[in-house]
A and B are shown apart, each in its own frame.
Chain A
Amino acid sequence: MFKIAKREQFSPVTYLWKLEAPDIAKAAQPGNFVIVRHGDGGERVPLTIADFDRQAGTITLVIQAVGKTTTSLMDLKEGEYLDDLAGPLGHARHFDKVKKVVCVGGGLGVAPTYPQLRQYKQNGAYTISIMGFRSKDLMFWIDRFKAESDELIIATDDGSFGVKGLVTGPLQEVLDKHQDVDEVLAIGPAIMMRACVAVTKPRNIKTIVSLNPIMVDGTGMCGGCRVTVGGKMAFACVDGPEFDGLQVDFDELMARAKRFDSSERESMRLFRERCHLPRQSS
């Protein structure tokens, strides 16, 4: 059982948990993820660690309610307990010495970009951040990003704040302006990462992406998270979750993300029907 020490609602569908998990906080590194599971019959969901505080013994997750589990978890209140939390999983990020880096985050990928951005900054890099949200009301952590970024660009789909449109527009401009960018980090929906790679590939800029495919165990046992990288099959949970974006087969990744769509819709429908009533344990 893991206590939700702090909870913040960023928007109708985005919320933050600070979970008491001292051992995970101690072992966590930028790039790691955890698996959460809750309730009788609950599924295992991988979530990238958005922050960790070794002193306080907490890890932070920023969760977007996209499916039944992430929607129902929104009902857990501050001070309540999550049943299962396993991690840190995946390889820790290995940071090469870079002078100038662009960190791109979009949607559910915004928060996980943060610990990496902070690490780049600590390593002495010139940091440019491009964070994408659907609209102004969905924005969060702008101050935190500002504190770690030499340049911060916000893009909103509807233009309600910052640059109107997707993150790829600003990315293109930044790369035009800064010919000396060593590395791009892109974390977000697969379609966004694919679009970022489409910008960086012609320029042959090293691009790191963090993949979040469907997993069951998250420890290499099921192989459900397999992804083709450089023509070879890899397991995102143990070989990743971060890969060389220029090598990732995004089309396959996006097709594989739809494997359970119909079942997930059915789960969601049932959940809504029950009007968010707490599930009975069977």
Chain B
Amino acid sequence: MEASTKPKKTIKTIAKSKTAMPEQDPAVRAHNWSEVTLGYTEDQALAEAARCIQCKKPGCIAGCPVAINIPGFIQAIESRDFRKAYDIVAADNVLPAICGRVCPQETQCEALCIVGNKLEPVGIGRLERFVGDLALKNGWSLATSIKRNGHKAAMIGSGPASITCAVDLARAGVEVTIYEALHTAGGVLKYGIPEFRLPKKLIDRELEALQRLGVKIVTNAIIGRLYTIPQLMQEMGYETAFIGVGAGYPNLMGIPGEGFNGIFSANEYLTRVNLMRAYQHPQTDTPTGMGKKVAVIGAGNTAMDACRVSIRMGAENVYCVYRRTKKESPARAEEVHHAEEEGVKFNWLTTPVRILADERGWVRAMECIRMELGEPDESGRARPVPVPGSEFLFEVDTIVYAIGTSANPILAQTTPGLKLNQRGYIDVSPETQMTSIPGVFAGGDIVTGGATVILAMGAGRKAAHAMLQYMGIEAAAQPAHQAK
């Protein structure tokens, strides 16, 4: 093997920290919509790949929801065989350029990286993005000669769960149609994640690759309204269907004043900006209707997106308001850091209890209360407890709720026999992702509640595997990867 000709890498011989990711300067990027992180150059990728010590028993793979052969693709980078690196990644992950950007690597693969025990872990996400970007630039896609087998499957929703499921089924010869409710495909990747974090043209290229595999995408098709699931299965000839519609039903807090003007769900706010391109208004038709003093309630990744969008939309002051502290905030550390750099102000241990408006019904302030941390709650995080008498007025003109989403009711209302759990999400078999309706599978946020792109992809993959079995298609027809 090649490795024997080189001196063996050990934890002592490699660089101690990750190769830095080039970024736009915060002062500049706060005023543009271009991508914040610029991606590794070839030299930087080689330098970072050299930090992987090719462990005999690597931890990273187990941390990846789709079990990418991480040491394998990094070794291919190191030996400058980038095409091979892509083929290794793409065997398990059809969206490397996207996952390299939006996966929470620090709690997944990189958290279990052996190098990370002593030093900074290998920058797996950054390397994955490097490979994914090269593939898009060079038009690489998995070499596949697909033999159609006459089986048909429908995907409901066109986000990461459905895309992954569709690819696995299409590669195995199934005729796949994706039904998307909006006028453009991509789901949360399009409406949720801002341009500066995930350029839309990347998603479009990934979707084009999907169509080259023979997957059909039908937009403007709201399943449950235009066609029902029973119709898909009985009249339209689909043997199986996969529900990957996400959990796009925004939560409000239920405090007085939520009907006033200037209050948005993060879904509405981000959809206006990202999907409808309100940042180009009035060249585009959809405005945001936002003001200059913006409070974003919540501190997850969506909250960070809303904060950073507000900065770029020209808000003078952007406040992130969260009832716990930075330590408990569910956002990725990198996102919080980027938000801080761009001028977002953080108000930890604070929560609104009432919204006040001017005489025309526009938000003028929130009445907030200070919180302190008490005993851990069922999530294991310290429970925030209001401090009596600590109410104060917080003057803002725009409030964005980023406090999570619930299950959209349309499918449940129109699909007799579809079993939900107590939280309203779809109940599935954990082994197969099959719902209470035979042949109908589900995965992603509509099963788990709001989670991450990669977890949705993992569920899509697991469902695809079970759907192939359900249709009686030999698992051998699938490319080699370990469906978990």
Residues of chain A lying within 8 A (CB to CB) of residue B289: 259-260, 263
**Does A223 contact B268, Cβ atoms closer than 8 Å?**
yes
Residues of chain A lying within 8 A (CB to CB) of residue B283: 41, 282
Bound: A266/B282 CA distance, A = 7
B205-229 with Cβ < 8 A to chain A: 219-222, 225-227
- Of chain B, the residue at the smallest CB distance from A239 is B409
A259-274 with Cβ < 8 A to chain B: 259-260, 263-264, 266-267, 270
**Does A43 contact B271, Cβ atoms closer than 8 Å?**
no
B232-267 with Cβ < 8 A to chain A: 248-250, 252, 254, 258-262, 264-265, 267
The one of A24, A224, A264 that contacts B264, using a Cβ cutoff of 8 Å: A224
- Of chain A, the residue at the smallest CB distance from B277 is A41
Known: A69-B285, A84-B220. A222 touches B259 (CB 8 A): no
**Does B285 contact A68, Cβ atoms closer than 8 Å?**
yes
**Does B261 contact A258, Cβ atoms closer than 8 Å?**
yes
Known: A222-B265, A249-B259, A258-B261. A27 touches B286 (CB 8 A): no
Residues of chain B lying within 8 A (CB to CB) of residue A249: 259
Residues of chain A lying within 8 A (CB to CB) of residue B479: none
Known: A37-B183, A85-B220. A43 touches B276 (CB 8 A): yes
**Does B286 contact A222, Cβ atoms closer than 8 Å?**
no
- CB proximity of A190 to chain B, nearest CB, Å: 13
Task: Bin the interface of chain B by size.
Answer: 35 or more
Interface Cβ pair total, 8 Å cutoff: 130
The one of A42, A87, A228 that contacts B226, using a Cβ cutoff of 8 Å: A87
The one of B182, B262, B288, B409 that contacts A217, using a Cβ cutoff of 8 Å: B182
Q: A216 on the interface (CB 8 Å rule)?
A: yes
Known: A238-B410, A256-B261. A88 touches B225 (CB 8 A): yes
Q: B72 on the interface (CB 8 Å rule)?
A: no
Bound: A92/B298 CA distance, A = 36
**Does A223 contact B183, Cβ atoms closer than 8 Å?**
no
Known: A23-B226, A44-B183, A44-B276. A219 touches B259 (CB 8 A): no
Residues of chain A lying within 8 A (CB to CB) of residue B277: 41
Select the residue from A69, A222, A227 with max chain B CB neighbours within 10 A.
A222
Provide a sorted-by-A list of 26 A–B residue pairs whose CB atoms are within 8 angstroms: A23-B227, A24-B226, A27-B225, A27-B227, A84-B220, A86-B182, A86-B220, A216-B268, A216-B286, A217-B181, A217-B248, A219-B181, A219-B408, A221-B271, A222-B250, A238-B408, A249-B259, A255-B260, A255-B360, A256-B259, A258-B360, A263-B288, A267-B281, A267-B282, A270-B282, A282-B280
Q: Residues of A at under 8 Å CB distance from B?
A: 23-24, 27, 37, 40-44, 68-69, 83-89, 216-217, 219-224, 226-228, 233, 238, 249, 252, 255-256, 258-260, 263-264, 266-267, 270, 282
Q: Residues of B at under 8 Å CB distance from A?
A: 181-183, 191, 219-222, 225-227, 248-250, 252, 254, 258-262, 264-265, 267-268, 271-272, 276-277, 280-289, 360-361, 408-410
